[in-house]
Amino acid sequence: MIQRVRKAVFPVGGLGTRFLPATKSMPKEMLPVVDKPLIQYAVEEAKAAGIEEFIFVTGRGKTAIEDHFDHSIELENILSSTGRKSEAKLLSELVLEPGQVAYTRQQEPLGLGHAVWCARELVGNEPFAVLLADDLIQAETPCLKQMLTAFYQTSGNIIAVMNVPKQHTARYGIVDMGKETGSLVEVKGLVEKPAPEKAPSTLSVIGRYILLPEIFEYLGQKEKGRGGEIQLTDSMAKLIGNSPFHGFKFEGHRFDCGDKAGFIEANLAFSLSRDDMRDEIFSIIESYK
């Protein structure tokens, strides 16, 4: 019988060099889209998909993330003693349950595959999700929840995928496509960041994964790939053939918040989708025309 997906891994050890100097002393995952840090969107998406254990793979200089999901007694006291109940509620709601959250450190930035491998003891022998907070997905049904439905149908590995312009293949893991059935695409192969002329398709991997624990055997081999880093894509490629492996074309809009323009677009889209902000933001945009 297929095991339930209870755990999610959040690799948050990256240096965030693309956002320097903003990320010199602040984790890039704490960059806000409107009024919420990127990592909170990812955690909320996981919660909405029924995830019960939240595993953060952090690094030096990332303690702000731990503090964000903990109580801030002083702030909570001030807010409640001054009658600002709704703000106090916002803060208390984001505290993760005791024992539901674990932090482990990736001591060296050796790549995404290595970051996920650092979580192996905390994940154990069960399927698990991986969420990259840089990829922010606005969707009616949260992306991970959509993927879980596909996981319980296929009993195999599921990765979120979308088509990108051909000239962008070198930014993503790219799928060598097999049979397509509805939203599911059989994955025959995977290549990390190929040049457009070498890319097997334009179907790219977006930062949401549901993986079987066998992945840890391959990650443990610590083979270096693209950019001299231990790539998650390379170990996923080795899983193909052992267990079902599908790309899942999710419904929703993905914003690349690892990129400045994508991050600004996310701020515009999320503020325009809020009743309390839409009109004001529209008139600001109009004034720049």
Classified as helix, coil or strand, 273 is coil
Pick from 9, 112, 191, 240: which binds ligand G1P (CB under 6 A)? Answer: 112
15: Cβ–Cβ under 8 A, 6 or more apart, which residues?
23, 28, 59, 109
Stretch that binds ligand G1P, among 38-46, 143-151, 225-233, 263-271 (CB under 6 A): 225-233
Q: Checking DSSP bridges between strand 36-37 and strand 32-33, what pairing results, if any?
A: antiparallel
The C-alpha atoms of residue 287 and residue 252 are separated, in whole angstroms, by 29
173 touches ligand G1P (CB under 6 A): yes
Q: Which stretch binds ligand G1P (CB under 6 A): 44-52, 76-84, 129-137, 278-286?
A: 129-137
Shortest CB 170 distance to ligand G1P, Å: 10
What residues form DSSP beta bridges with 7? Answer: 53, 128
159 lies in the site for ligand G1P, by CB under 6 A: no
Binding status of residue 225 toward ligand G1P by CB under 6 A: no
Segment interacting with ligand G1P, rule: CB under 6 A, options 24-32, 51-59, 94-102, 228-236: 228-236
Q: Is 205 in the site for ligand G1P (CB under 6 A)?
A: yes
- Rounded Cα distance between 162 and 227, Å, is 23
- Tell me which of 206, 210, 211, 257 binds ligand G1P, using CB under 6 A: 206
List b or e across 95-132, with b for residues whose CB sees 16 or more CB atoms inside 10 angstroms.
ebeeeebbbbebeeebbbbbbbbbbbebbeeebbbbbb
Beta bridge partners of 173: 192
Question: Alpha carbon 159 to chain centroid distance?
Answer: 11
Give the integer Cα–Cα distance in Å for 247 and 43. Answer: 22
Instruction: Identify the residue among 23, 146, 233, 235 touching ligand G1P (CB under 6 A).
Output: 233
Instruction: Write out the two tokens for 263.
Output: 């991050």
Range in contact with ligand G1P (rule: CB under 6 A) among 92-100, 136-144, 195-203, 231-239: 231-239
Nearer Cβ to ligand G1P (61/262):
262
Q: Hey, is 233 helix, strand or coil?
A: helix
**Minimum separation from the CB atom of position 133 to ligand G1P (A):** 10
Binding site for ligand G1P (CB under 6 A): 112, 132, 134-135, 172-173, 192, 204-207, 231-233, 258
